[in-house]
Amino acid sequence: MLNTNNQINGYKVVPTTLITEKTTIFGNFNDVIIGMWGVLDIMVDTATKAASGGIVLRVFQDVDVAIRHPKSFAKSN
């Protein structure tokens, strides 16, 4: 595959470090459903970096991901 200007055969390419280097996922990403519920939970942790005067933010969100049509995707290795 020849990646030119982040496109292959006119399709946008999005690089990621979440899969192995030689793996390619091609599909209709409009068929990915992302559900979020609850509230964004932000907690300030003043104890972890107390010695240096810093703070740590702990952020949590409930999220689920589903595929509407699994045949919309192909994976190659």
Interatomic CA distance for residues 2 and 10, integer angstroms:
11
Interatomic CA distance for residues 27 and 53, integer angstroms:
47
Q: Mind listing the pLDDT tens digit for each residue in 7-64?
A: 888 888 888 899 988 888 999 999 999 999 989 999 999 899 889 989 999 999 999 9
pTM of the model: 0.61
Residues facing 43 on adjacent strands: 58
Let me know: does 77 contact 23? Beta carbons within 8 Å.
yes
